[in-house]
Amino acid sequence: MFAAYKMIAREMPTIKNKSYLGCFYNSRPANQPNLQNELFSVELSASECINACNTIQHSVAVLNKGLQTCTCYKSLSASLKLVRNEIQAENCSDLAFVTDFATSFCKFSSFINPFKEIVPRVGLISVPGSGNTWTRQLFQSLTGFLSGSFYWDQQSFRQGLIGEMEQWQSRRTTLIKYHYLIPDKLHKQTEALIADMSKLIFVIRDPLKSMIAEFNHKTYKDHKIAFQNSKAFESTARQKDRFERHFNEQLIRLQSFTLVRKITQRPVLIISYEDMLENLFPQILRIANFIELGEDLTVLDRSVCTIFNAEAMRKTDKRKYSEDFTPTAANLVNRKWATAVLKTISENFLNYKLHKMRLDDYIESLSRVTKE
């Protein structure tokens, strides 16, 4: 079963039509135990087949080009059980499409029953601005469980993260958002929160770009408002070296994440924001496996549903920048020091066998300075 999802993971980046899943061959054996409904028509178009399956609330519509039959499958996992071979561009007979029903059922999530161990207690640790809001939205869509937070952010609550206003100790949520690994005077509850989690997920992003996102948030106290142009951004950023000070703090905090093996014995999964942007499907399957739901058929169905809604979810928390502030931001920091710290972080991640950081990409961002 999981191998079939890996096939879809490879094909997913190439899909241009939102509803098109792929083309298969030899996917209609004589014995069809998981077949839910079958509609026959001599002249049935792809759109008619999709609509027919959607009407009866089935997730996948398969149109056989040779037999001109339309087969509806209740769930994606049921249809994948019939896939015997790899996706082939030339020698394929069945065109598979995802219905609107399949892309809507994963939009609903609920609280966890605190008296049942349905899913592990997972902490979500990240430097602010690294994409934790999008990660939480993806998690909710993937699992059907609400993500929680140490913080009470009304904007996040309004964006569908209902667990934001729930006490993190209630055990009615998981994937608890937090920004620290090492306790200090201002964050004394860090040790208690980390100790309460059975697993930890870290989201890592290009430090310069995460700081740009967080600096906008610190300035406007809003997830969507951004500076109008680079001049306005630079003017504010240079006041008392605000941007550089915050950037240095966040880079040191990222460096502390490499010590997770020393601080806690909890299982750790590190996800790159850039990897999620490039090819999301394998990353959410990693999350599903990490929280011990990788073989859950409902979660596997929700994973594909999540992919089709991922971009819309990301845009709910995405600022619309009038221009790229990265070159301006690179001028505001000590690039030599930052490069040295990034190399140390990358080396530590590798030494502790935690993560292969996109070091070259992050250093390239620091080199994109504007001409003064």
pLDDT for residue 40: 58
Residue type for position 139 = F
**Range from 59-68, 187-196, 279-288 carrying the lowest mean pLDDT:** 59-68
Q: How far apart are CA 121 and CA 240, in angstroms?
A: 41
| 283-299 mean pLDDT | 91
Range in 121-135, 242-256, 319-333 with the lowest mean pLDDT:
319-333
pLDDT per residue over 83-142, tens digit each? 444 444 456 677 888 888 888 889 899 999 988 878 899 999 999 999 999 999 999 999
Q: What per-residue confidence (pLDDT) applies to 42?
A: 54
Its pTM stands at 0.84
| Per-residue confidence (pLDDT) for residue 85, from 0 to 100 | 43
pLDDT over 90, % of the chain: 48
The mean pLDDT value of the chain amounts to: 84
Query: Which pLDDT score is estimated for 235?
Result: 95
CA 4 to chain CA mean position, Å: 21
Q: Which CATH architecture has domain 2-102?
A: 3-Layer(bba) Sandwich (3.50)
Instruction: Please state the rounded mean pLDDT for residues 156-180.
Output: 93
Q: Strand pairing partners for 40?
A: 69
Confidence of residue 357 (pLDDT cuts 50, 70, 90): very high
**For residue 365, is pLDDT > 60?**
yes
Record the tokens describing residue 331, joined without a space: 């001028």
User: Between residues 355 and 94, which one has the greater pLDDT?
Assistant: 355
Domain locations in the chain as residue ranges: 2-102, 122-367
Res 23 pLDDT > 90: no
Q: What does the pLDDT read at residue 6?
A: 53
Average pLDDT over residues 340-347: 97
Residue, of 38 and 73, whose pLDDT is higher: 73
Q: Tell whether the model's pLDDT for residue 78 goes beyond 90.
A: no
**30 or 195, which is more confident:** 195
Please write down the HEC assignment for all residues of the chain: CHHHHHHHHHHHHHCCCCCEEEEECCCCCCCCCCCCEEEECCCCCHHHHHHHHHHCCCCEEEEECCCCEEEEECCHHHHHCCCCCCCCCCCCCEEEEECCCCCCHHHCCECCCCCCCCCCCEEEEECCCCCHHHHHHHHHHHHCECEEECCCCHHHHHCCCHHHHCCHHHCCCEEEEECCCCCCCCCCCHHHHHHHCCEEEEEECCHHHHHHHHHHHHHHCCCCCCCCCHHHHHHHHHHHHHHHHHHHHHHHHHHHHCCHHHHCCCCEEEEEHHHHHHCHHHHHHHHHHHCCCCCCHHHHHHHHHHHHHHHHHHHCCCCCCCCCCHHHHHCCCCHHHHHHHHHHHHHHHHHCCCCCCCHHHHHHHHHCCCCC
Q: Given pLDDT bands bounded at 50, 70 and 90, which one contains residue 368?
A: confident
pLDDT for residue 212 is more than 90:
yes
Tell whether the model's pLDDT for residue 367 goes beyond 80: yes
pLDDT computed for residue 30 by the predictor: 39
Q: Tokens standing for 9?
A: 């993971």
Q: What is d(CA 366, CA 368) in angstroms, rounded to the nearest whole number?
A: 6
Which residues are paired to 177 by β-bridges? Answer: 124, 149
Task: Report domain 122-367's class.
Answer: alpha beta
pLDDT tens, residue by residue, 7-19: 555 544 444 455 7
**In the structure, what pLDDT confidence band is assigned to residue 45 with cuts at 50, 70 and 90?**
confident
**Distance between CA atoms of residues 18 and 118, nearest Å:** 32
- Cβ atoms within 10 A of the Cβ of 40, count? 10
